[in-house]
């Protein structure tokens, strides 16, 4: 049984300009102790997917449907009391910007203790001891002295460590990390990823990591979901996506990665902008930007289907498998740049 | 912290000098003769000159200013009234508690109104309460305190006879024939209401905007993600952060409030500092005007200092900067 199983998740926002379908029928699942990477451009719905699972969207203008079964309980229809018990306790979340995600007027210790006292029946003193333990575990130097410091006294990387510590104080089964390294500089990114990997071994939590950085996915994920315009365009074990990508959008993402092993004149870029979700294009949502566009792409919306020889690897594209395998091979050899 | 205090105090001294100099200069630009006023309409030219000399008005402005400062610093005295020879210290001392009652009572009531209304309308934007409070805000911002005062007096005092029309009673039993906390509050009710409405309006709007802004902060989402119930999110994460700006405004508005007190006191016939100031200006009684200015400046400086310290207490980023 999957730890979290998301079925046909849809989230729309009512705005002054109309209804924005930010997430439009997303399915995925994650097993205990595994890591799932969700990749895609800004605005493709990856953050909204996770905020919907956590019930953190603004209720006033959001409509959600579908199911998010966590240990067989649907998070979307759960009453708010039960949901609060789950949040921070069974499912914890780390956000993109550690600079703004901690409350500036409370000491970090106080914020960690708050997270503990919300879910555990312990004294403040015990809570503080546990907080200190976690701050040490995430590698904050002189944690015993820094526990009473305020967020502005920490650097970005240290703040993200505090956020991770805060997410882990209650031993969650699932950790959702929304672009945890995006706001950090490259060396700090590597440290934070290594830390998350190490803590996953130690605590056994499953992790959903949202990112636009395929490098991060390659490093930490077991399974990958590639999202485009509110939908999944490719999904499968991490090896498949990197060795046999089958969607032109995934090729674009892979081709835009700088590589050391091949000589590429120019990095591939995906032309154009992601479509407006107020009024997504007819047919395949990627067709206006796709170099392989065919007549059928403009009229028929492709379904998310498994490959004929690999049932775990799903993709949403009208191209025939032969062409896709050929183009993927070219891309991996570093020659797609010339071809397109 | 000590360095901060010293800097603040030095700055206060500069401010004090500037304000008193400006008051002096303005007073001497006005084409009027305080000695004539003091000596009476029937006084002869000789008599007026005699009075002028007696009051020191024959001296140049800077000598008068020097004498005033010397008296203030050496004797802690604000001098005597030109017209009545009353000790200005006594006048201020008698009037200050009345203004203080008005201002502090007013602040209390306006915050009592503004904080809950502001927060509730931020939590339920576009609700009935929000719309109603916005109407109230519009009236409060647009109306002049004198007009509000007159309307209140007409209905509450004249038509329904719930409150006294004017006058003041001391909070401790005074010589005025009435006194004690109940009489005091009874006489202050309308002035407080007038005063509160004036400022509550602005504050409702400000608190609403601040709370709405804070609700969108990332750390509020973090608190919700931790599983905190909404009441705790509001109390522990939203309120304190959204009150930072309110406290700053409150510090700045104390000066404005003293100005507002002038109108309110006039309408309700409260013998506070505002009325003393207006009477003294009408009589060209410089020592009293100057006394009110000195006292007012001093109070504002003290309040601002207090607010700054309070601000540092609620916001650690300032405390440690």
pLDDT digits (tens, 9 = 90+) for A2-56: 899 999 999 999 998 889 999 999 999 999 999 999 999 888 999 999 999 999 9
- Mapping DSSP to helix (H, G, I), strand (E, B) and coil, where does residue B86 land? coil
Q: Evaluate whether B57 touches B64 at the Cβ level (below 8 Å).
A: yes
Range of weakest confidence among A116-120, A202-206, A219-223, B61-65: B61-65
First to last CA, chain B: 10
Q: Which of A85, A102, A105 sits opposite B227 (nearest CB)?
A: A85
Pairwise CA distance, residues B106 & B198, whole Å = 10
Q: How far is B111 from chain A (nearest CA, A)?
A: 22
* β-strand partners of A210: A38, A178
Pairwise CA distance, residues B127 & B274, whole Å = 40
- B318: contact with A, CB 8 A cutoff: no
Q: Is the pLDDT of residue A262 over 80?
A: no
Q: How far is A1 from chain B (nearest CA, A)?
A: 25
Pairwise CA distance, residues B29 & A31, whole Å = 85
Reference B288, options B80, B17, B29; nearest CA is B80
- B144: contact with A, CB 8 A cutoff: no
DSSP string, A300-321: -PPP-EEETTEEEEEE---S-H
Give residue B177's pLDDT band: very low, low, confident or very high (50, 70, 90): low
Give residue B42's pLDDT band: very low, low, confident or very high (50, 70, 90): confident
Beta strand A223-228 with A35-39: parallel, antiparallel or unpaired? parallel
DSSP percent split of chain B into helix, strand, coil, nearest 5: 80, 0, 20
- A145: contact with B, CB 8 A cutoff: no
Q: Evaluate whether A12 touches A186 at the Cβ level (below 8 Å).
A: no
Within 8 A of B247 by CB-CB distance, chain A residues are: none
Reference B242, options B122, B104, B113; nearest CA is B122
Determine the Cα angle at B298 with ends B296 and B301, to 5°: 110
- A292: contact with B, CB 8 A cutoff: no
Q: What was the pLDDT predicted at A338?
A: 43
Write out pLDDT tens, residues A70-125. Answer: 999 999 999 989 999 999 999 999 998 888 999 999 999 999 999 999 999 999 99
- B126: contact with A, CB 8 A cutoff: no
Query: Does the beta-carbon distance from A56 to B224 stay under 8 Å?
Result: yes
Distances from the Cα of B114 to the Cαs of A249, B201, B207, B254, in angstroms? Answer: 53, 7, 7, 16
Q: Is the pLDDT of residue A339 over 70?
A: no
Determine the Cα angle at A237 with ends A235 and A238, to 5°: 100
- Rounded to 5 degrees, φ, ψ at A239 are -60, -45
Q: Is the pLDDT of residue B165 over 80?
A: no
Q: Evaluate whether A124 touches A108 at the Cβ level (below 8 Å).
A: no
Q: What was the pLDDT predicted at B13?
A: 86
Q: What token pair was written down for A8?
A: 């046909």
Q: Evaluate whether B136 touches B159 at the Cβ level (below 8 Å).
A: no
Within 8 A of B236 by CB-CB distance, chain A residues are: 106, 114
Q: Evaluate whether A254 touches A329 at the Cβ level (below 8 Å).
A: no
Q: What token pair was written down for B139?
A: 């009236």
Which positions ≥6 away from B192 have C-beta within 8 Å?
Answer: B102, B105, B106, B108, B109
- A86: contact with B, CB 8 A cutoff: yes
A204: left (phi over 0), alpha (psi -120 to 50) or beta: left
Give residues 52 to 91 of B whose Cβ lies within 8 Å of A.
none
Pairwise CA distance, residues A94 & A165, whole Å = 10
First to last CA, chain A: 43
Task: Calculate mean pLDDT across residues A161-180.
Answer: 92
Q: How far is B302 from chain A (nearest CA, A)?
A: 25
Within 8 A of B229 by CB-CB distance, chain A residues are: 84
Reference A92, options B214, B221, B215; nearest CA is B221
Q: Which of A54, A92, A105 sits opposite B316 (nearest CB)?
A: A105
Q: Which of A86, A88, A101 sits opposite B218 (nearest CB)?
A: A101
Within 8 A of A105 by CB-CB distance, chain B residues are: 240-241, 314-316
Element (H, E) at A177: strand A174-178
What is the complex's ipTM, to 2 decimals? 0.87
Q: Is the pLDDT of residue A63 over 50?
A: yes
- B14: contact with A, CB 8 A cutoff: no
* A vs B: CB pairs below 8 A: 72
Write out pLDDT tens, residues B207-244. Answer: 999 999 999 999 999 999 999 999 999 999 998 888 88
CA atoms lying within 13 Å on the CB side of residue B71: 17
Q: Which of A88, A97, A103 sits opposite B225 (nearest CB)?
A: A88
pTM of the model: 0.79
Write out pLDDT tens, residues A197-215. Answer: 888 988 889 999 999 888 8
Q: How far is B218 from chain A (nearest CA, A)?
A: 5
Q: For chain A, what is the mean pLDDT?
A: 89
Give residue A263's pLDDT band: very low, low, confident or very high (50, 70, 90): low
Residue of A nearest to B123 (CA): A60
Pairwise CA distance, residues A115 & A117, whole Å = 6
Element (H, E) at B133: helix B128-142
Q: What was the pLDDT predicted at A337?
A: 47
Q: Evaluate whether B129 touches B136 at the Cβ level (below 8 Å).
A: no
Pairwise CA distance, residues B147 & B267, whole Å = 9
């Amino acid at each position: 049984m999957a730890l979290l199983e998301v079925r046909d998740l849809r989230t729309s926002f009512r705005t002054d300009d109309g209804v924005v379908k930010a997430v439009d029928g997303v399915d995925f699942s994650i097993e205990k102790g595994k890591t799932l990477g969700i990749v895609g451009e800004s605005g493709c719905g990856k953050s909204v997917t996770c905020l919907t699972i956590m019930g953190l969207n603004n209720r006033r203008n959001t409509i959600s449907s579908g199911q998010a079964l966590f240990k067989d309980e649907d998070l979307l229809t759960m009453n708010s009391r039960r949901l609060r018990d789950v949040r921070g306790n069974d499912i914890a979340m780390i956000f993109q910007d550690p600079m703004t995600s901690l409350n500036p007027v409370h000491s970090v210790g106080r914020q960690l203790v708050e997270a503990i006292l919300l879910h555990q029946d312990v004294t403040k003193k015990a809570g503080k001891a546990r907080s200190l333990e976690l701050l040490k575990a995430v590698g904050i130097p002189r944690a015993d002295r820094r526990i009473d410091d305020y967020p502005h006294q920490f650097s970005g990387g240290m703040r993200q460590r505090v956020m991770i510590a805060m997410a882990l104080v209650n031993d969650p089964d699932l950790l959702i990390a929304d672009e945890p390294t995006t706001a950090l500089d490259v060396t700090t990114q590597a440290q934070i990823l290594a830390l998350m990997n190490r803590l996953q071994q130690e605590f056994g939590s499953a992790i959903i990591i949202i990112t636009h950085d395929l490098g991060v996915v390659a490093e930490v994920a077991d399974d990958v979901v590639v999202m485009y315009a509110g939908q999944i365009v490719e999904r499968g074990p991490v090896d498949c996506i990197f060795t046999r990508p089958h969607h032109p959008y995934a090729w674009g993402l892979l081709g835009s990665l700088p590589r050391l092993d091949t000589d590429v004149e120019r990095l591939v870029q995906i032309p154009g902008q992601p479509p407006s979700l107020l009024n997504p294009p007819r047919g395949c949502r990627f067709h206006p930007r796709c170099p392989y566009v065919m007549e059928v792409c403009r009229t028929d919306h492709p379904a998310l289907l498994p490959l004929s020889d690999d049932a775990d690897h799903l993709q949403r594209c009208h191209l025939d498998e032969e062409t896709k395998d050929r183009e993927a091979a070219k891309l991996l050899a570093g020659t797609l740049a010339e071809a397109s | 912290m000590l360095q901060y205090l010293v800097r603040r105090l030095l700055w206060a001294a500069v401010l004090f000098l500037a304000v008193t100099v400006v008051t002096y200069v303005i007073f001497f630009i006005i084409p009027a003769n305080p000695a004539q006023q003091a000596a009476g309409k029937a006084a002869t030219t000789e008599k007026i000159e005699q009075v002028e000399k007696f009051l020191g008005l024959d001296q140049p402005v800077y000598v008068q200013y020097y004498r005033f400062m010397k008296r203030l610093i050496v004797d802690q005295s604000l001098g005597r009234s030109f017209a009545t020879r009353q000790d200005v210290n006594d006048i201020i001392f008698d009037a200050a508690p009345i203004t203080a009652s008005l201002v502090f009572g007013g602040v209390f009531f306006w915050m009592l109104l503004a904080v809950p209304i502001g927060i509730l309308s931020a939590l339920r934007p576009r609700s009935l309460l929000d719309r109603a409070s916005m109407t109230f805000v519009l009236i409060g911002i647009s109306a002049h305190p004198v007009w509000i005062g007159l309307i209140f007096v007409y209905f509450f005092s004249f038509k329904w006879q719930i409150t006294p029309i004017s006058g003041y009673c001391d909070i401790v039993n005074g010589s005025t024939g009435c006194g004690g906390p109940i009489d005091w509050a009874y006489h202050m009710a309308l002035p407080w209401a007038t005063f509160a409405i004036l400022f509550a309006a602005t504050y409702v709007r400000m608190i609403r905007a601040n709370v709405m802004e804070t609700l969108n902060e990332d750390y509020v989402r973090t608190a919700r993600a931790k599983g905190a119930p909404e009441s705790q999110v509001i109390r522990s994460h939203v309120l304190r952060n959204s009150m930072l700006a309110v406290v700053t405004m409150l510090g700045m508005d104390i000066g404005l409030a003293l100005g507002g007190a002038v109108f309110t006191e006039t309408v309700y016939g409260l013998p506070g500092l505002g009325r003393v100031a207006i009477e003294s200006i009408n009589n060209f009684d410089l020592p009293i005007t100057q006394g009110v200015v000195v006292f007012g400046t001093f109070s504002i400086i003290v309040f601002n200092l207090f607010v700054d310290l309070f601000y540092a207490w609620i916001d650690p980023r300032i405390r440690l900067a």
